[in-house]
Amino acid sequence: MSEVKEQIFSVSEITKSIKFILESTFEKISIEGEISNFKAHGSGHWYFNLKDEGAVINCTMWKGVNNYVFFSPEDGMKVIVTGRVTVYPPRGSYQIDVRSMKPSGIGELQAAFERLKRKLFDEGLFDEQYKKSIPAFPKKIGLVTAPDGAAVKDMISVAERRFPLVELVIAPTKVQGAGAAENIVENIRKLNYLKDIDVIILARGGGSIEDLWAFNEEIVAREIFKSKIPIITGVGHEVDFTIADFVSDLRAPTPSVAMELATPDIEDLKNFIKDSYLLSCDLIEENLNEYKDDIKQFVNSYSFRFPFEKIRKFSQSLDFSTVKINNAIEKKMNIVSNKIALVSKSLEAHDIEKSLKKGFALIKQNAKFVTRKKNYSVHNPVTIKFYDGELEIK
């Protein structure tokens, strides 16, 4: 009896066999699991693990395919992926080539919503101190919304009814599905570049949480917060709340209400102008009556009826004042004259010539008058001044 020879495979051969069996058997499968180690590569590809309590599978979702995912995957999120099993022979490993991804039920989206809401709240993006005021009379309003939806038609109708003077600039925007969040961000930036937009309305009609998910994306929230132009959100119906609503400067329950909040009512303006006109007329008439009474009082006054009497009275008062001033000047001059006479007499009493005439003489030595005996020198020449001349003694 011959011995059966054992078949021996090379590593490549067995790997190729496994690759064929796995890829042909699991050509299209759907797997539910929790995302971990999620990484969005700079190339645009996504790499992550899908795990449950017993196992882990590597997953790859290529750029272009992942553009159709309407939400941002993150670690801890439970999802359902659909794709095929592929084997990478150089490493001897297998992975899931993911072709589509969706949340595993509404609860996952709600959990992601709450996580992002808490994160942005802690960062202060919802704080009232950062809310910009909405202008009372906007000249130009930017609309970030779908160009063919019911929301834009409702907003245009409201604007035409309330404030037809305003100019609307529509930025056609994808508001649902893959790429919607990126398109919203792009159009908010474009409107900020225009510089003359007074307010932006970010709006869309109602829908499920999946339909509205673009307004729950972090990139949209941060772009709203970064906008220099105030933003009003009108997303969904009154019961719908999105992350964008918390970050925006003003939240409206619907797109139509958003336009109402952004525009004044022309009927209110007309009534205001009418009331102001009537009030102004009443004030003018009241002032005229008051001035009329004042004028009547002036006309009937003594001064107005006898103006020359007032002039004569002032003229007489002027004469009295003139006489009073002249008397004061004269009195002052007399006092000054008396003082001058007194000083003159005092000067005359001390006149040197008069003293010499009386017989007094002045003695001078060395060009100086000798006023004391001790200053007189018998050895020096002396000059004696008399009234009628001088005498020199050597």
CB of 23 closer than 8 Å to CB of 85: yes
**pLDDT above 70 coverage of the chain, percent:** 94
pLDDT digits (tens, 9 = 90+) for 285-326: 888 888 877 777 776 766 666 666 777 777 788 888 888 888
Q: Are residues 321 and 181 in the same domain?
A: no
Residue 272 lies in a domain: no
Residue 210 lies in a domain: yes
Residue 138 lies in a domain: yes
CB of 149 closer than 8 Å to CB of 254: no
Q: Are residues 255 and 159 in the same domain?
A: yes
What angle separates helix 180-194 from helix 218-226, to the nearest 10 degrees?
10
Mean pLDDT computed over 72-82? 85
Q: Are residues 151 and 252 in the same domain?
A: yes
- pLDDT-wise least confident of 197-206, 222-231, 269-278: 269-278
Q: Are residues 88 and 199 in the same domain?
A: no
Residue 247 lies in a domain: yes
Q: Are residues 125 and 237 in the same domain?
A: yes
pLDDT (0 to 100) of residue 3: 62
Query: H/E element holding 295?
Result: helix 266-299
CATH number for position 137: 3.40.50.10550
pLDDT (0 to 100) of residue 277: 81
Residue whose C-alpha is closest to residue 246's, from 72, 130, 106: 130
Question: Looking up tokens 């942005």, which residue turns up?
Answer: 120
Give the pLDDT band (50/70/90) at residue 246.
very high
**Is the model more confident about 136 or about 69?**
136
DSSP letters for 179-194: THHHHHHHHHHHHHHH
Looking at the structure of the chain, the number of domains it has is 4
Residue whose C-alpha is closest to residue 159's, from 188, 145, 139: 139
Say whether pLDDT at 87 is over 70: yes
| pTM (two decimals) | 0.57
Mean pLDDT computed over 235-257? 91
**3 state SS of 148:** coil
CB of 201 closer than 8 Å to CB of 229: no
Kindly list the strands in the beta sheet with 382-386, ordered across the sheet, starting from the edge strand earlier in the chain. 368-369, 362-365, 382-386, 389-393
Question: What is the domain extent for residue 157?
Answer: 112-264
CB of 127 closer than 8 Å to CB of 98: no
Distance CA 69, CA 242 (A): 18
Q: Are residues 116 and 244 in the same domain?
A: yes
pLDDT (0 to 100) of residue 251: 94
Residue 238 lies in a domain: yes
Distance CA 173, CA 202 (A): 10
Q: Are residues 248 and 126 in the same domain?
A: yes
Alpha carbon 235 to its chain's center: 26
pLDDT (0 to 100) of residue 250: 95
Which span out of 161-165, 276-280, 357-361 was modeled with the highest average pLDDT? 161-165
CB of 196 closer than 8 Å to CB of 166: no
Mean pLDDT computed over 371-384? 77
Q: Are residues 171 and 233 in the same domain?
A: yes
The residue among 104, 121, 153 that closes a domain is 104
pLDDT (0 to 100) of residue 338: 85
Residue 293 lies in a domain: no
Residue 226: count of CB within 10 angstroms of its CB = 13
Residue 142 lies in a domain: yes
Q: Are residues 343 and 358 in the same domain?
A: no
**Is the model more confident about 351 or about 329?**
329
Q: Are residues 148 and 173 in the same domain?
A: yes
CB of 239 closer than 8 Å to CB of 251: no
Residue 296 lies in a domain: no
**pLDDT above 90 coverage of the chain, percent:** 32
Q: DSSP letter at 27?
A: S
Say whether pLDDT at 248 is over 80: yes
Say whether pLDDT at 387 is over 90: no
Q: Are residues 65 and 130 in the same domain?
A: no
Give the pLDDT band (50/70/90) at residue 64.
confident
Q: Are residues 44 and 121 in the same domain?
A: no
Distance CA 59, CA 90 (A): 17
Which span out of 20-24, 308-312, 353-357 was modeled with the highest average pLDDT? 20-24
Mean pLDDT of the chain: 85
